Amino acid sequence: MAEPKENVLMEKIVSLCKRRGFIFQSSEIYGGINGFWDYGPLGAELRRNIRDCWWNDMVRSRDDVVGLESSIIMHPKVWEASGHVAGFTDPMVDCKISKQRFRADQIFFSPVIVDGKTVGYVSALESDRTAEELQESAETFKRKKAIQGKLESVQPREFTEAKPEEIPLVPSPATGEPGSLTPPRAFNMMFQTYVGALRDESAIAYLRPETAQGMFADFKAVLDTGRVKIPFGIAQIGKSFRNEITPRNFIFRSREFEQMEMEFFISDEDDWQKWHRYWIDWCRDWLISIGLPASALSEYNHPQEKLAFYSKGTTDLMFRYPFGVQELWGIAARGDYDLSQHAKFSGTALAYFDEATKRRYVPHVIEPAVGVDRILLAILCSAYHEDQMPDEKGKMEPRDMLKLHPRVAPIKVAVLPLLKNKPNLVGKAQEVRDLLRKQMNVFYDDAGAIGRRYRRQDEAGTPFCVTVDFETFEGMKEGPMTGQTDTVTVRHRDDGRQERLSIGGLLPWLLERIR
């Protein structure tokens, strides 16, 4: 679906992503496929860095979390036990005229009330301006129908709440005409497939809609390895698939995406609220550690009445995207529901025996679940900056820059010989590249004026540029390193500041900053 016109920032980010090779529409040469995305050379590195940071901090740096990679297609009974076969649905609405499909909870409508009387209805798709859009549409409606009187403020409601008699009166967001929207009906979002040669009921399987069930299904297998004691967590990174009715907002909601989930098992007698708070804070701190500004993050507590019956509490970490404040990371306290369900459906006891107290119980779980793609988008949105930088002649020029945290930046350092046609400069620059390449992603660039090369790296989010110039051989003319050879210029992306470093000290200097 097209982005709202006023979302200029989003358009700029999408365009930069395509131009610089972060993100492409999947199968673009065939016209694309809605809800699927490809990550280009820079995007693939950025994604890998996000995953690596998470795995490192969540699994490798902790004694109480172990990793898992479970299969994408699991026994179909897993999804019966988890409730996904019966209940993993979104309310879907069709527009009979435009043939477009909507999620009922993303269509908002309101009666148009003039002098206390309902004279019609208006609708709008969910955005950060839904109420304003409805109000504008109500004003236009009144004007076009030449209705006299005082227009009341709109009262936005979700289409899921529309009464049967209201449904034919609400205009379709696609056509603006009333009468073409169907009543909402439940649509299961799991992708279905067949395993093996037979195409009958017995061969039906699903692409996983979340990675979490792998951790529950393998709980006993992990426990039997003897490495873990309650409280402990099982973490996994992997692809998930949801046949979203309306994939939108670039990579925010897609049909194939990657999740990083962790199930943290605690005693049934432990204080779940303490652990819930602990993981909310951990997730928030982690997001800040990879460069998201604290000011763009907030918490949303799901109201008790909207929680699943087994859920004790869910808090979402929200991020202020250009299209509104949206869920980035959900941290749910799920009680013992999942393990109990799998024990019931599989007939395998999924309990924990506490050696100290000689007590057997079904552990409770806290689940922080996040999408890699949503983090990546949040990073790009907060890193995007436009400013002015002087060119070689001192003239101010506009530049697009990604202020990526060095931990996640796809290219850590660019190595640039000042001139392409001087073999000594080129040879030394390649030596420096080879020295650094073993430890980090390095980009070598000898094409074009040095200022232009800096600008290209600013756009890619590269935090440091290293330039090999004549002083590398002749020795510094002035400053603290006067006379010293084998030095390079290091340029900082954000403020264009330059400093001189010896090639020998370069690697530790960079490692300290990118880790």
Positions that interact with ligand ATP (CB under 6 A) = 210, 242, 244, 253-254, 257, 259, 327-330, 369-371, 373-374
Shortest distance in whole angstroms from residue 287 CB to ligand ATP: 12
Shortest distance in whole angstroms from residue 56 CB to ligand ATP: 20
CB 27 within 8 A of CB 15: no
Which residue, 342 or 428, is less far from ligand ATP as judged by CB? Answer: 342
Q: Which whole-number Å values give the CA distances from 213 to 308, 342, 490, in the listed order?
A: 17, 9, 48
Which residue, 135 or 326, is less far from ligand ATP as judged by CB? Answer: 326
Shortest distance in whole angstroms from residue 32 CB to ligand ATP: 17
Shortest distance in whole angstroms from residue 331 CB to ligand ATP: 9
Specify the residue for token string 């979203």.
244
User: Who contacts 21 (Cβ-Cβ below 8 Å, separation ≥6)?
Assistant: 40, 41, 42, 43
Tokens of 363: 């552990």
Which residue, 170 or 328, is less far from ligand ATP as judged by CB? Answer: 328
Shortest distance in whole angstroms from residue 289 CB to ligand ATP: 18
Strands of 80-178 (E only): list them.
89-94, 101-103, 107-114, 117-125, 157-158
Distance CA 429, CA 447 (A): 13
Coil, helix or strand for 306? Answer: helix
Which residue, 133 or 244, is less far from ligand ATP as judged by CB? Answer: 244
Nearest to 258 by CA among 232, 236, 291, 243: 236
Give the residue nearest to ligand ATP (CB).
Answer: 371
Q: Which whole-number Å values give the CA distances from 307 to 186, 211, 332, 369, 447, in the listed order?
A: 18, 20, 10, 16, 57
Phi, psi of 44 (to 5 degrees): -65, -40
Shortest distance in whole angstroms from residue 207 CB to ligand ATP: 13
Which residue, 126 or 336, is less far from ligand ATP as judged by CB? Answer: 126
Shortest distance in whole angstroms from residue 87 CB to ligand ATP: 12
Coil, helix or strand for 431? Answer: helix
CB neighbour class for 370 (10 Å; exposed up to 12, middle 13-18, buried from 19): buried
Which residue, 244 or 263, is less far from ligand ATP as judged by CB? Answer: 244
Relative orientation angle of helices 272-289 and 41-55, to the nearest 10 degrees: 140
Which residue, 122 or 280, is less far from ligand ATP as judged by CB? Answer: 280
Which residue, 209 or 291, is less far from ligand ATP as judged by CB? Answer: 209
Which residue, 242 or 453, is less far from ligand ATP as judged by CB? Answer: 242
Provide the CB-side half-sphere exposure for 6 (13 A, CA): 8
Coil, helix or strand for 474? Answer: helix
Distance CA 144, CA 190 (A): 44
- DSSP sequence for 17-70: HHHTTSEEETTGGGT--TT-EEE-HHHHHHHHHHHHHHHIIIIIT-SSEEEE--
Shortest distance in whole angstroms from residue 255 CB to ligand ATP: 7
Which residue, 300 or 473, is less far from ligand ATP as judged by CB? Answer: 300
Tokens of 385: 């900056």
Shortest distance in whole angstroms from residue 247 CB to ligand ATP: 7
Which residue, 259 or 489, is less far from ligand ATP as judged by CB? Answer: 259
Which residue, 155 or 192, is less far from ligand ATP as judged by CB? Answer: 192
Cross-strand partners of 236: 68, 261
Relative orientation angle of helices 372-383 and 41-55, to the nearest 10 degrees: 110
| Single-letter amino acid, residue 281 | D
Phi, psi of 471 (to 5 degrees): -65, -20
Shortest distance in whole angstroms from residue 212 CB to ligand ATP: 8
Shortest distance in whole angstroms from residue 334 CB to ligand ATP: 11
Q: Which residues of 444-466 are buried (b: 16+ CB within 10 A; e: fewer)?
A: bbbeeebeebbbbbbbbbbbbbb
Shortest distance in whole angstroms from residue 128 CB to ligand ATP: 15
